[in-house]
Structure 1
Amino acid sequence: MKKKWWHDSVVYQVYPRSFKDSNNDGIGDLNGIISKLDYLKELGIDVIWLSPVYKSPNVDNGYDISDYCDIMDEFGTLDDMKTLIDEATKRDIKIIMDLVVNHTSDEHIWFKEARKSKKNKYRDFYIWRDAVNGSIPNDLKSNFGGSAWTLDTETNQYYLHLHDKRQPDLNWENPELRKEIYNMMKFWLDLGIKGFRMDVIDLIGKEPDKLITQNGPKLHDYIQEMNRETFGKYDVLTVGETWGATPEIGKLYSDPKRNELSMVFQFEVISLDKQQGKRKWDLAPLDFIAFKESFRKWQVELYEDGWNSLFGNNHDLPRMVSRWGNDKEYRVESAKMLATMLHMQKGTPYIYQGEEIGMTNVKFPSIEYYNDIEGLNMYNERISLGYSEDEVMKSLYAKGRDNARTPMQWDSSENGGFSTKKPWLMVNDNYTDINVERDIKAPWSIFAYYQKLIRLRKSEEVIKYGKFELLLKDHREAFVYTRSYNGENLFVVCNFYGNNISIDLSELKDILGLGDNSELSLNEDVLIANYSNSPKLTNKLALRPYETIVYKYNNLANFNIK
């Protein structure tokens, strides 16, 4: 595989509304981000993924765009955006922007024009259908609940929206629409951004009359055309949000020979703690065996023909340490373990703002404190269906998107140092204990641990390109795997739970081709660990709650990875 600059890069996602408020109106902004670039440089990241800052009425917090080539007033101006790009570049930090081209806002000029008349030149930029037997065209559902069709009374036709009704879907079958999108992308690339994160990109090939939404038959044709017309002419990173991807589909997107994307976000692991066949709100215990197998599958199947993204949370997902770790007595240990589990795999790691200090989910006192449209719709829908308040709030506490969107906790001052005014969304009340100022001063902090993980990725080729092998796949508490590359090897051990455990590694002798009398004792170095005094690697390995250790060794005679 040809080496790319993003193979050893680490991406940091900034959710602008919640990152840093510079003008004290309670809303984060571009100048706030600029003021924290030195912090991000100290952390060691290479790339900022900037969630949408375009003009928007903010129905879906910026994912409903009314003007692709201008900046939301609350965030600043286009000149501020140019300054952010320039100041980041001075610090060797690249900017990638969210690209939301499956839908627009209903306040975009294209849609305003389109709904004026069936003959308007912008009409075919969107997807319209007549009523069927006096009702909606078909049974397609919105991802935010309810029907995906809304009647436009001006022209007496239904338009498609796979999200909120104020987010009409674009018609990618129209070549004029595609040309407009490509011109917009080139506008931003020429301003100096270094790539795109592509929101729900697997929906643009939809065929609504056939009830096909994800992975439509023309999807990859559109992406290859996009590559040819826009970012394929630049040395940039592109990552697609692809909820319906399998490893086979992931390779279609990210195999360099196909000239599509650099990588995708896949969400197989994210779906393992919900009831099968139901929505994300229907909670279920994590299937840990399936969790490990999902990582194995993606690591192995994309090893030579694609590239992985590595993430555990983002603006749409709950906080990783609350979801898979222990955000109380073992918050620090479990946050480090989860980071190790991800960062030691092959792919590009994505850190979501606040993850590097172990920020947690939030439990607001009542539904009135919540902001996210998806969560509010779920609450209203389920209450009307007879769910109890406790049931609904339990789901919201676990999976609500506001968990990730509470303001960044910079220090222990009022509002966590995010703003001197009341923030648009309430700060998590643990900000006095969990904040950047406190973490950055502590030598054994989560922040310091992330710094080391980032440095290791840049210095260790085996982390970037090593082959992945899952061991002890049926163990119900330990996640154990190896990486191997050019004679260098890593042995990664993670205790995924809060118990003291002892792992019998002697059974690995057969798996690794060792003789019966061989001792599993290597001339190893501890590359990184989340406890002090890590044990030597022997047949019996005792691990403390959420303990993780990465051993590096070179002796292939003792550890024969086949």
Structure 2
Amino acid sequence: MKANWHRNTLIYQIDPSLFSDSNGDGRGDLKGIIQRLDYLQALGVGALWLMPLYRSPFKDAGYDVSDFMALDPRFGSEEDLRQLIVQAGERGMRVILELVAQHTSDQHPWFQRARRDKDSVYRDYYMWSDTPVDDGNQPIFPSVEDSIWHWDEQAGQYYRHLFYHHEPDLNLANPRVVEEIERIMVHWLELGIAGFRLDAASHLVEQAGGEDEEQGVWVLERFFKCMTQINPEGVLLGEVDVEPERYSHYFGNGERLGLVLDFWVNNHMFLALARGQAEPLQRAITQRPAPPDGANYAVWLRNHDELDLERLSEEEREEVMQVFAPEPDMRLYGRGIRRRLAPMLAGDVRHQALAQALLLSLPGAPIVRYGEEIGMGDDLSRPERLSVRTPMQWNTQANAGFSSARHLAAPVIDEGPFAYTQVNVEDQLNAPESLLGRVRPLLLARAGLPEVGDGEARLITVDHPAVFAVAHVGEATSVMVANLSNDTLTVKLDGMDLQGFKEIISDSQYPAANDRQLTLNGYGYRWWRRTGSKQ
């Protein structure tokens, strides 16, 4: 097995309840994922990131955990998980689990004991106050919760909750709580998982440090040490939505997070797409600190939440909103967009393929969310973030081939241009001009370019503002160019001679590049590679 594999792997994000239902109960499960592993392998996937599988009341898609040490029965058994790990491993794929260490469900036994007895050791597992305290934090879901403090009649005090009021925050400054989380980690690591995606990592660090981020990073070091004692090649993938200069706290010297989810680049990528200009993305890449050896950034287009644009200025945010979420119902929490990528790009297959090519050209480990490779849509009739959480669309059979049940965990999209009869895996598998027909070769090509994750990224100046160009220099050198506009362009790359490079993938057939001059279709992309010594 390869050390630091996570620096350069394609991560595929799966909502287990919405991916594939093997037993006809209307909810996706682990056996369903196992049945789809050949499909994932054919995409070049290197790691599966599974959203929460633990026992839960499911008021918040499983992020409200009531028992971290047990799988929810809807997903199957621990043996099913073990089989998934084994069978994924046989196909060169690892499995990453979600770790929700910032809060629990209010149904968790810890909280039930805490609220019953002020003298219980569990009381200090949570954050309590006789009166609401203004600690500078605001509700994460401001249109749903009006405070981060909730009165508990049984406890006779307020408890803090940054998220929903049924998700009380854990007191991570309490060593007992951290020991409990470590026991949870050990349990799942011993089954053979490759690491954890740390939900709300920046918030849990603040909670561990008494709101002092730099003081709280000890908790990441504890988690990293716990993990690597069992799996020396394990990774902690952290949700860190902060300014880029603060990323270094979360990396440390490589003994904290192995992958930082880069919201800064994500936000500026959408600003670049909205403008049809590369500058915002170029600027964002130059503003983030270099990761330490053994660590990297994780980059993505859309995830399971709203597209949170908090890292943009107010004017920039509104600019992106006007392009991609012009209607009020498309927006959420005063900061984000509750749409999938395909509807944001008006279903344009070329534009979506360009966005994926752009993502895959960025320095870092790319994450693709299930269904993004086929251009799945959203259901704005569903509340909040549930609009982008619909069943995977496998074929044109009933329920999109997701399940044989009459009642589903969530309704399939069955109307409009993104209905499963119009957008599904089966129809696109052997259609080269489909989105899957374009994206799958990109994903496979990217899987064969280790220098993109492991090498040195050098932005290339281009004589047109719509074109993003980057060289990745390692044991080999790759050059990746993307046209963010819908216009056909002929451009020059400053300081980059493509002599000796082989074109490995492009959106269509092009004449050979000469004298550093090359042509790009509207929403076109071209990648070259040269093996041999560093430049």
TM-score interval, smaller chain: 0.7 to 0.9
Comparing 62-71 with 76-85, greater Cα deviation is found at 76-85
1:273, 1:43 → 2: CA distance? 23
- Tell me if structure 2 keeps the 8 A contact 1:65–1:104: yes
Name the SS for the 1:141 alignment partner: coil
2:139 corresponds to 1:142: yes
- Tell me if structure 2 keeps the 8 A contact 1:272–1:286: no
Out of 257, 262, 268, the position equivalent to 1:266 is: 262
Aligned to 1:500: 488
- Spell out, residue by residue over 1:438-472, the C-alpha distance to the aligned partner (whole angstroms, 9 max, x if none): 11122454434444334434443433333212233
Aligned to 1:463: 452
- Spell out, residue by residue over 1:304-351, the C-alpha distance to the aligned partner (whole angstroms, 9 max, x if none): 68412121122124433444xx343x32x2222222222233322212
Out of 283, 291, 311, the position equivalent to 1:302 is: 291
Aligned to 1:392: none
The verdict on how the C-alpha distance between 1:551 and 1:42 changes in structure 2, with shifts beyond 3 A counting, is: closer
Comparing 453-462 with 113-122, greater Cα deviation is found at 453-462
Aligned to 2:502: 525
2:224, 2:516 → 1: CA distance? 51
1:5, 1:12 → 2: CA distance? 15
Deviation at residue 45 of structure 1 after TM alignment: 1.2
Q: How does 1:144-159 map to 2 (within 5 A)?
A: 144-145=141-142, 146-159=146-159
Out of 377, 394, 400, the position equivalent to 1:410 is: 394
CA RMSD of aligned residues (A): 3.0
- Tell me if structure 1 keeps the 8 A contact 2:171–2:207: no
1:112, 1:346 → 2: CA distance? 45
- Spell out, residue by residue over 1:251-308, the C-alpha distance to the aligned partner (whole angstroms, 9 max, x if none): 34335x4411211102113444999xxxxxxxx978852233113434x733768412
The verdict on how the C-alpha distance between 1:411 and 1:469 changes in structure 2, with shifts beyond 3 A counting, is: same
- Tell me if structure 2 keeps the 8 A contact 1:321–1:327: yes
- Aligned-partner residue type, residue 453 of structure 1: L
Name the SS for the 1:452 alignment partner: helix
With structure 2 as the length reference, what TM-score do the two structures score? 0.83
The verdict on how the C-alpha distance between 1:322 and 1:254 changes in structure 2, with shifts beyond 3 A counting, is: farther
- Tell me if structure 1 keeps the 8 A contact 2:18–2:391: yes
Comparing 187-196 with 450-459, greater Cα deviation is found at 450-459
Name the SS for the 1:426 alignment partner: coil
Name the SS for the 1:491 alignment partner: strand
1:239, 1:207 → 2: CA distance? 18
The verdict on how the C-alpha distance between 1:302 and 1:475 changes in structure 2, with shifts beyond 3 A counting, is: farther
1:239, 1:304 → 2: CA distance? 15
- Tell me if structure 2 keeps the 8 A contact 1:232–1:259: no
1:128, 1:498 → 2: CA distance? 55
Name the SS for the 2:205 alignment partner: coil
Deviation at residue 473 of structure 1 after TM alignment: 7.1
Aligned to 1:278: none
2:512, 2:407 → 1: CA distance? 48
1:110, 1:103 → 2: CA distance? 11
1:268, 1:419 → 2: CA distance? 37
Comparing 231-240 with 92-101, greater Cα deviation is found at 231-240
Name the SS for the 2:168 alignment partner: coil
Deviation at residue 108 of structure 1 after TM alignment: 0.3
- Tell me if structure 1 keeps the 8 A contact 2:209–2:215: no
Aligned to 2:280: 290
Name the SS for the 2:75 alignment partner: coil
- Tell me if structure 2 keeps the 8 A contact 1:43–1:447: no
Aligned to 1:241: 239
Aligned to 2:332: none
Aligned to 1:385: none
The verdict on how the C-alpha distance between 1:258 and 1:12 changes in structure 2, with shifts beyond 3 A counting, is: closer
- Aligned-partner residue type, residue 262 of structure 1: G
Out of 203, 214, 227, the position equivalent to 1:230 is: 227
Deviation at residue 539 of structure 1 after TM alignment: 5.0
The verdict on how the C-alpha distance between 1:233 and 1:273 changes in structure 2, with shifts beyond 3 A counting, is: closer
- Aligned-partner residue type, residue 297 of structure 1: Q
2:489, 2:247 → 1: CA distance? 36
2:524, 2:16 → 1: CA distance? 33
Out of 370, 382, 386, the position equivalent to 1:353 is: 370
- Tell me if structure 2 keeps the 8 A contact 1:201–1:240: yes
- Aligned-partner residue type, residue 530 of structure 1: D
The verdict on how the C-alpha distance between 1:468 and 1:93 changes in structure 2, with shifts beyond 3 A counting, is: closer
Aligned to 2:333: none
Out of 404, 421, 432, the position equivalent to 1:432 is: 421
- Aligned-partner residue type, residue 138 of structure 2: K
- Tell me if structure 2 keeps the 8 A contact 1:137–1:158: no
- Tell me if structure 1 keeps the 8 A contact 2:227–2:234: no
Q: How does 1:325-474 map to 2 (within 5 A)?
A: 326-328=345-347, 330-331=348-349, 333-360=350-377, 362-364=378-380, 369-371=381-383, 375=384, 401-420=385-404, 421-428=406-413, 429=415, 430=418, 431-472=420-461
- Tell me if structure 2 keeps the 8 A contact 1:189–1:231: no
2:251, 2:354 → 1: CA distance? 28
2:207, 2:24 → 1: CA distance? 45
Structure 2: give runs of 5+ residues left out of the alignment. Answer: 308-338
2:463, 2:342 → 1: CA distance? 23
Name the SS for the 1:295 alignment partner: helix
Aligned to 1:94: 94
Name the SS for the 1:456 alignment partner: helix
1:291, 1:307 → 2: CA distance? 17
Comparing 51-60 with 532-541, greater Cα deviation is found at 532-541
Name the SS for the 2:121 alignment partner: coil
- Tell me if structure 2 keeps the 8 A contact 1:340–1:548: yes
1:470, 1:274 → 2: CA distance? 18
The verdict on how the C-alpha distance between 1:137 and 1:50 changes in structure 2, with shifts beyond 3 A counting, is: same
Deviation at residue 233 of structure 1 after TM alignment: 3.8
- Spell out, residue by residue over 1:376-433, the C-alpha distance to the aligned partner (whole angstroms, 9 max, x if none): xxxxxxxxxxxxxxxxxxxxxxxxx334311111011222111232433232332222
Deviation at residue 243 of structure 1 after TM alignment: 0.7
The verdict on how the C-alpha distance between 1:492 and 1:54 changes in structure 2, with shifts beyond 3 A counting, is: same
Aligned to 1:48: 48
The verdict on how the C-alpha distance between 1:297 and 1:474 changes in structure 2, with shifts beyond 3 A counting, is: farther
- Aligned-partner residue type, residue 419 of structure 1: S
Point out the structure with max Rg over C-alpha.
Answer: 1
The verdict on how the C-alpha distance between 1:443 and 1:138 changes in structure 2, with shifts beyond 3 A counting, is: closer
Comparing 140-149 with 79-88, greater Cα deviation is found at 79-88
The verdict on how the C-alpha distance between 1:439 and 1:458 changes in structure 2, with shifts beyond 3 A counting, is: same
1:419, 1:220 → 2: CA distance? 43
Aligned to 2:130: 130
Deviation at residue 97 of structure 1 after TM alignment: 0.2
- Aligned-partner residue type, residue 492 of structure 1: M
2:463, 2:290 → 1: CA distance? 20
Comparing 47-56 with 310-319, greater Cα deviation is found at 310-319
Q: How does 1:28-47 map to 2 (within 5 A)?
A: 28-47=28-47
- Tell me if structure 1 keeps the 8 A contact 2:301–2:341: yes
Aligned to 1:515: none
- Tell me if structure 2 keeps the 8 A contact 1:237–1:262: yes
- Tell me if structure 2 keeps the 8 A contact 1:139–1:147: no
Deviation at residue 525 of structure 1 after TM alignment: 1.8
